[in-house]
Amino acid sequence: MKNQRMLDELTELMRIDVSSGQETEIAEHLVKKLEQMGFAITRDEAGATFGGVCGNILAVREGERDGVVCFCSHMDRVPGGIGIKPVEEDGILRSSGDTILAADDLSGVAAILEGVRQAIESGKALPKLEILFTVGEEAGLYGAKAFDVSLLTSKTMYVLDSPGRIGRIVNGAPGRALLEAQVFGKAAHAGNEPEKGIDAAKIMAEMLATMETGRLDENTTSNFSHLWSKTCEAMNVVCDHAILRGEMRSRSGEKLDRYEAYFQSHCREIAEKRGARVEFKRENTFLPFFIPEDSEMIQIVTESLKEMGIEPQINGGGGGMDGNIFNQKGITCVGIATGYFKNHSTEEYLYLDDFYHAGELVARIIGRIA
């Protein structure tokens, strides 16, 4: 069921160089496309909140009948997405191998554009359509955090930004918090009197080596990858200050709190045993969400998929997305997969039939809302 229009538009967008905070060129392309379909455009200053130069795009098309539906995808991509050369082979789209593909999340952007076009081209009376293309998602969900949800009429949102085969509906995602432990030891000359020092770097290493990390249970993980010292760069000085920083994720807020308590207890015990002092910080970047399978918006997707002959697969995700923020702000969101895998890597690929079906799914959701 090749859809050449969809494929051409997707590869056109992929060839535009984009990074988080630098979405202006692709935003201009999208605004022109949306205006040609009769959408009124509103932009905000979201980029300024994280050092970027581009804001979110909200496109609204008034309806000919009651109802409203909102779709969302993000315009930015992870680093490694400059100079993308898409290559199609045997129904799969990949990059030339030295960049990411940026199917995360341009496949979502293109599927929304195509689905809306199909709905308009049907000639049927449509509900009000709202499309939100965000900035800075990959850098920390910054566009969603800055967006004023009072601009939306819809209280639900379909976020096309999830890996997996077509039919996958993401009804839950973990919350994420950053954890930090600062270890304060005692400086001393490393050659003359090392026994008089307290090595903060070694203590930090002991903390990490003996800590429970990685997969903690089916929906809870932790990872500590930042280890450094702000004050001790000389090799002939016993390190007196070291920092351990990482993240924890879980679909349960209670489990996040429980792991933080363990983290602090573990680090404090080792620090005190070695004569050091430790201070802690926690920063919540986004909260978990869960939408019941019997909710109306999920039923709309499952019924639409079944009409297409596709079996729905409802499950939770492992990463955060704009939906975490919007659920927190009172807009009920679920994620929809568009057929990509191995995102954030040069091995990223997209099943094109799934991508084409994602465009059809958007059109069917609009029709079902109508």
- What mean pLDDT value characterizes the chain? 95
Q: Could you read off the pLDDT of 111-153 as tens digits, one per residue?
A: 999 999 999 999 999 999 999 999 999 999 999 999 999 999 9
Query: Which pLDDT does position 285 carry in this prediction?
Result: 87
The tokens describing 279, both together, are 């201070």
Model confidence at 239: pLDDT above 80: yes
Note the pLDDT tens digit of each residue in 160-184: 999 999 999 999 989 999 999 999 9
- Give the pLDDT mean for 102-118: 98
We find that the CATH architecture of domain 176-286 is: 2-Layer Sandwich (3.30)
In angstroms, rounded to a whole number, what is the distance separating the alpha carbons of residues 114 and 38? 14
For 136, residues 6+ apart whose C-beta sits below 8 A from its C-beta are 20, 21, 23, 46, 47, 50, 52, 74, 76, 142, 143
**Type of residue numbered 329:** K
Q: Which of 115, 85, 114, 99 is nearest to 14 (CA)?
A: 85
Average pLDDT over residues 224-251: 89
Mean pLDDT of 279-308: 95
* Bridge partners for 357 per DSSP: none
pLDDT at 233 over 90: no
Structure-block tokens of residue 344: 């954030």
pLDDT tens figures, 30-70: 999 999 999 999 999 999 999 999 999 999 999 999 999 99
Residue 249: which H helix or E strand, with range? strand 241-250
| pLDDT interval class at 231 (50, 70, 90) | low
Asked if pLDDT for residue 1 goes beyond 90, the answer is no
pLDDT(280) > 80: yes
Output the pLDDT for position 370.
82
Residue 42: partners with Cβ closer than 8 Å, 6 or more residues away: 57, 58, 59, 60, 151
Q: What is the mean pLDDT of residues 311-331?
A: 92
- Residue 339 binned pLDDT confidence (cut-offs 50, 70, 90): very high
Local confidence band at 232 (pLDDT 50, 70, 90 cut-offs): low
Widest Cα–Cα separation across the chain: 85
The answer to whether residue 306 scores a pLDDT higher than 80 is yes
Cα 212 to its chain centre, rounded Å, is 25
Instruction: Give the count of beta carbons closer than 10 Å to the beta carbon of residue 15.
Output: 12
Where does 4-173+288-369 sit in CATH, by number? 3.40.630.10
For residue 219, the model assigns a pLDDT of 86
* Position 319 pLDDT exceeds 90: no
The band of 318, judged by pLDDT with boundaries at 50, 70 and 90, is confident
**pTM for the predicted model, two decimal places:** 0.88
What are the tens digits of pLDDT across the range 258-275? 999 999 999 999 999 999
Banded pLDDT at 78 (limits 50, 70, 90): very high
Contact in structure between 216 and 246 (CB atoms under 8 Å): no
Domain positions in the chain are: 4-173+288-369, 176-286
CA torsion, ordered 75, 80, 81, 82, to nearest 10 deg: 130
Q: What is the pLDDT of residues 6-28, one digit of tens each?
A: 999 999 999 999 999 999 999 99
**67: nearest Cα among 297, 290, 291:** 297
Between CA 263 and CA 272 the distance in angstroms is 14
- Cβ within 8 Å of residue 176, ≥6 positions away: 247, 248, 249, 284, 285, 286, 320
